[in-house]
Structure 1
Amino acid sequence: MIRAGVSVVDITPPAGLEMCGFAARIPPATGAHDPLTVRALVIGDTAIAVADVIGIDAALSNRVRQASGLPPERVTLAATHTHGGPLSMPGRLSGETDPSFLAGLEEAFVTALRSAASTAEPVTLQGGVGPEPGIARNRRHPNGPVDTGVPVLRLNRADGSAMAVLISYACHPVVLSSDNLLWTADYPHYVRICLEAALPGAVALFATGCAGDVNTGHSAAASLDPVSNPARSFAEAERIGQAIADAALAAPLRSLGETIKAAQSDVLLEFADDEDVPALLAAWKTERQSAPPNRARLLDIWSDWADRRAQQAPAPIAERVTTASWGGARILAMPGEIFAETALSLRRAVAADGPGPLFILGYADDNPGYIPPESEFAFGGYEVTEAHRFYGLPAGLAPRSAERLAKAVFHAAGGQHHDDITKGDCHD
Structure 2
Amino acid sequence: MSATPTGTAPVLRDVLPAVTTWTPRESALTAGVARTDITPPPGIRAHNWGAARTELATGVHRPLTATALAFHDRGTDRWRYLLTLDLGWWRDTTSFHRLRDPILTALDAAPDDLLLHLVHTHAGPSISDLGLDLPGAELLPAYQEQLTAGAITACRTARESAAATVLTWAQGRCDLAVTRNLPCGDRDVVAFDPGTPADDTLLVGRITVDGATIATLVNYACHPTTLAHHNSLLSPDLVGATREVVESVTAAPCLFLQGASGELSPREQYVPGTEQTDRNGRVLGHATLAVLERMGAPGTRLRFDGVVESGAPLGLWQREPASVPDTVDCLSTVVPLPARPAATAEQITAQWSDIDPVAAAERLRRATRLADGYLDGDTAQHPLWVWRLGDAVIVAHPGEAFSALQTELRRRHPDRAVLVLNLTNGPGFVYLPDAASYRRDRYQVWQTLLAPGGLESLIDTADQLIAGLAPAREETA
Same fold flag (TM > 0.5): yes
1:42 aligns with 2:70: yes
One-letter amino acid of the counterpart of residue 54, structure 1: G
CA distance in 1, matches of 2:422, 2:218: 14
Q: Which of 321, 326, 341 in structure 2 is aligned with 1:273?
A: 341
Higher helix share: 1
Distance 1:115-1:414 versus aligned 2 partners, 3 A rule: farther
Map 1:21-420 to 2 at 5 A. Answer: 21-27=48-54, 28-44=56-72, 45-56=79-90, 57=93, 58-59=96-97, 60-90=99-129, 98-130=140-172, 132-140=173-181, 142=193, 143-158=195-210, 160-200=211-251, 202-217=252-267, 229-230=271-272, 233-251=273-291, 252-253=294-295, 255=299, 256-273=324-341, 278=346, 281-282=349-350, 284-285=352-353, 287=354, 295-302=356-363, 315=376, 316-351=379-414, 353-354=415-416, 357-366=417-426, 368-385=429-446, 387=447, 396-415=449-468
Secondary structure of 1:134's match? coil
Aligned length: 385
Q: Deviation per CA, 1:129-174: give whole Å up to 9, x if none.
A: 12x221111011533353322111111112x211111111100001
Which residue matches 2:312? Answer: none
Higher strand share: 2
Secondary structure of 1:173's match? coil
CA distance in 1, matches of 2:395, 2:112: 14
One-letter amino acid of the counterpart of residue 338, structure 1: A
| TM-score using structure 2 length | 0.72
One-letter amino acid of the counterpart of residue 80, structure 1: V
CA distance in 1, matches of 2:130, 2:452: 24
Whether contact under 8 Å (1:338, 1:372) holds in the other structure is yes
Secondary structure of 2:159's match? helix
CA distance in 2, matches of 1:401, 1:168: 23
One-letter amino acid of the counterpart of residue 392, structure 2: A
CA distance in 2, matches of 1:22, 1:101: 21
CA distance in 2, matches of 1:92, 1:376: 36
1:16 aligns with 2:43: yes
Secondary structure of 1:128's match? strand
**What runs of 5+ residues in structure 2 fail to find an aligned partner?**
1-27, 73-78, 183-192, 300-323, 470-477
| Offset of residue 296 of structure 1 | 2.0
Distance 1:327-1:15 versus aligned 2 partners, 3 A rule: same
One-letter amino acid of the counterpart of residue 368, structure 1: F
Whether contact under 8 Å (1:146, 1:170) holds in the other structure is no
Distance 1:105-1:270 versus aligned 2 partners, 3 A rule: farther
Whether contact under 8 Å (1:336, 1:363) holds in the other structure is yes
Whether contact under 8 Å (2:31, 2:69) holds in the other structure is yes
Distance 1:343-1:189 versus aligned 2 partners, 3 A rule: same
Whether contact under 8 Å (1:94, 1:301) holds in the other structure is no
Deviates more, 1:363-372 or 1:139-148: 139-148
One-letter amino acid of the counterpart of residue 216, structure 1: P
CA distance in 1, matches of 2:437, 2:133: 25
Whether contact under 8 Å (1:20, 1:83) holds in the other structure is no
| Offset of residue 213 of structure 1 | 0.9
Secondary structure of 2:181's match? coil
Q: Deviation per CA, 1:370-397: give whole Å up to 9, x if none.
A: 1212221111211111x35xxxxxxx22
Distance 1:265-1:25 versus aligned 2 partners, 3 A rule: same
Over alpha carbons, which structure has the higher Rg? 2
Q: Deviation per CA, 1:319-375: give whole Å up to 9, x if none.
A: 321122223122111212111123222221222x33xx3211111113512121222
**Over aligned residue pairs, what C-alpha RMSD do you find?**
3.2
One-letter amino acid of the counterpart of residue 441, structure 2: G
CA distance in 1, matches of 2:464, 2:219: 22
CA distance in 2, matches of 1:169, 1:67: 30
CA distance in 2, matches of 1:283, 1:42: 46
| Offset of residue 184 of structure 1 | 0.3
Whether contact under 8 Å (1:196, 1:203) holds in the other structure is yes
| TM-score using structure 1 length | 0.80
CA distance in 2, matches of 1:205, 1:307: 32
